[in-house]
Amino acid sequence: MTGGFVYSEKPIRIERGEGVHLYDGDGTEYLDFGASYGVAAVGHCHPEVVSAVQSQVERLTFVQASYPNAARDGLYDKLAAVAPGDLDDVWLCNSGTEANEAALKFARSATGDSKIVAARDGFHGRTMGSLAATWKPKYRTPFEPLAGGVEFVPYGDEAALAEAVDDETAAVLLEPIQGEGGVNPAPEGYLQAAREAADDTGAALIFDEIQTGLGRTGALWACEKRGVTPDVLTSAKGLGGGLPVAATLCADWVAEDAGPHGSTFSGGPVVSAAAEATLSVLADEDLPANAAEVGEHLQSKLRGPELPIRTVRGEGLLVGVEVGRGANAVLKRLAMNHGVLALPAGRSVVRLLPPLTVEQSHADEVIDALGAALAEVSA
């Protein structure tokens, strides 16, 4: 194959997906415990999403966002209805990084300030603005200079956060649980402290729930479990049931001066129909509750005595497993020898981020596969 050059290819070609499974051209089955970067939150090719997309693509594939349209309006309403607090001003775009770019721009225009406070080990995307708020040098260094004005604080340190957030701060940008950075849940009280620091200085509090949102942690939004409502919340990954769509949900005061922002593809009818169907599936199938239940089962088995695992972190179906050696070696064996696909989160963490439709039996399969893969790596 020629043409692609960014991704190192894996020696598995996937040609079909159904629910929690992916299949290669020979029909070999893989259990997708990474949900393809969390995108397949309601499973692959969910019939309700497929049917919503099929009927919309025939009726109207695209119309620009300045012409109101039933599919887009339907998604606006649905997102406003499920948003935490009063974050009912919805901006639609195509990817997580764009949702964060918008959040940062809106925060700057609403506050008239420019400084952004973000966390070490945080991940917010790879475009110039979101990348500037992303910690890891590996992602940043080759592309510098990035957008300016970002100050990093150690994640979980309330005092450092209170000290960094000042009257020149436009935004505090945090993940309620750091995903890519190793699956680090915010310590008790940290998000509340961020809320207070933002309130004291007039900064906008932005929660990046691109990985933690849409039921993954056992509640629709991770911030709800902690009783903290931000001024802006970003959502992407699983939102479109496999199609590229993302949302920036804002309180009125943040959305007020957002007019000069825009995007050609904002809320196209097909992706809007897909996202509306996805949100319906999440509610109809009670998937946040399933994530809580199966997540609990999975985590208690991971913590059990059978597996030589150092630490397990996470909530619901966002789980990081410290394997104490190269995560990639374990992931490779999981995929090639046991038909289980998962993700890394840094060098030594295997990240389990399955579709929220998984059952306990799938979790058990992964436990067995992980035990075997760990033994193979040690052998």
Ligand X SMILES: *Cc1c(COP(=O)(O)O)cnc(C)c1O
Q: In the complex, which residues of this chain contact ligand X (CB under 6 A)? A: 95-97, 100, 123-125, 175, 179-180, 208, 210-211, 236-237
Distances from the Cα of 368 to the Cαs of 254, 278, 294, 315, in angstroms? Answer: 48, 31, 16, 21
- Min dist CB 187 to ligand X, Å, is 18
Residue number, 237 or 338, with CB nearest to ligand X: 237
- Min dist CB 256 to ligand X, Å, is 25
Instruction: Give which of 81, 133, 145, 79 is closest to 103, Cα–Cα.
Output: 133
Record the tokens describing residue 92, joined without a space.
């639609």
**Residue of minimal Cβ distance to ligand X:** 96
- Min dist CB 327 to ligand X, Å, is 17
Selected catalytic residue, list 105, 225, 237, 301: 237
Residue number, 95 or 290, with CB nearest to ligand X: 95
Judge whether 237 counts as a catalytic residue: yes
Mutual orientation of helices 47-59 and 269-284 as an angle, nearest 10°?
A: 160
Instruction: Provide the 10 A C-beta neighbour count for residue 346.
Output: 17
Selected catalytic residue, list 32, 89, 208, 231: 208
Residue number, 94 or 201, with CB nearest to ligand X: 94
CA atoms of 56 and 79, how far apart (whole Å): 19
What is the C-alpha end-to-end distance of the chain, expressed in Å? 34
Record the tokens describing residue 129, joined without a space.
């603005």
Q: Give 257's contacts (C-beta < 8 A, 6+ positions apart).
A: 106, 109, 110
8 Å CB contact between 203 and 214: no
Selected catalytic residue, list 123, 225, 231, 301: 123
- Min dist CB 208 to ligand X, Å, is 5
Judge whether 265 counts as a catalytic residue: no
8 Å CB contact between 105 and 261: yes
Place of tokens 């439709």: 357
CA atoms of 91 and 251, how far apart (whole Å): 11
Residue number, 270 or 343, with CB nearest to ligand X: 343
- Min dist CB 136 to ligand X, Å, is 12
Residue number, 94 or 109, with CB nearest to ligand X: 94
Catalytic residues: 123, 208, 237
